Amino acid sequence: MENYISKNRKVLTQMLFDVLDLVEAKDLVQRKRFKMELLTYISVLHRIVDIHNLLDSDRLMSQYKFSQKLFTLCDRYKDKGLDSKLKDNPLDFIRGLQSKMLETCEDGFYWELKETEKKDAFSKAFDKIQEEKTSRLEQLKSEAFNKLGKTNIVKDFI
């Protein structure tokens, strides 16, 4: 399954920057820094969305659920432009976004993300090995049954 952010990073980033640009900038340097942090945050979300099992982590699951809301807004943005709620209250959205971004700065967040990614990678690798073993076993069984049928071993035995 393809990661939503891989496919829509440019549109998602543009949407977030457009909302940010609705708020008057008092300090352009701070605005640029915030945009850079926003790009970092999108990369964190990209990593989280790639993980298949987030049930063990409340923090990662919270970020994942927030990303799903962002993806819904992004899909609307692709179809109709900025949502009227975003246009009317961009500051509320930006504050919510900042809050989610700050959660990734909490102690242990990146360690938790890395550990969860590691577990997920092992799980995916194990599943792949199991699939390969199963398909190889099925292939060997099929070949064995084909050989049995051709040599009439069963018929000769009886």
Please give the span between the terminal C-alpha atoms of the chain, in angstroms, as a whole number: 52
CA distance 5 to 75: 12
pLDDT at residue 131 greater than cutoff 70: no
Task: State how many domains the chain has.
Answer: 1
**pLDDT at site 132:** 65
Domain assignment present for 127: no
The SS3 assignment for 90 reads helix
pLDDT of residue 158: 47
- Would residue 30 count as lying in a domain? yes
25 within a domain of the structure (yes/no): yes
Query: Residue 60: pLDDT above 80?
Result: yes
Which residues touch 49 (CB under 8 Å, ≥6 apart)? 3, 4, 5, 64, 67
Question: Who wins on pLDDT, 154 or 121?
Answer: 121
pLDDT at 81 over 80: yes
Please report the pLDDT score of residue 55 as a whole number: 78
Does residue 115 fall inside a structural domain? Answer: yes
Q: What is the pLDDT of residues 30-42, one digit of tens each?
A: 999 999 999 999 9
* pLDDT score of 122: 84
pLDDT-derived band of residue 136, with 50, 70 and 90 as boundaries?
low
The parent domain of residue 83 ranges over 4-119
Asked whether residue 147 is domain-assigned, the answer is no
Residue 68 lies in a domain: yes
On whether residue 140 sits in a domain, the answer given is: no
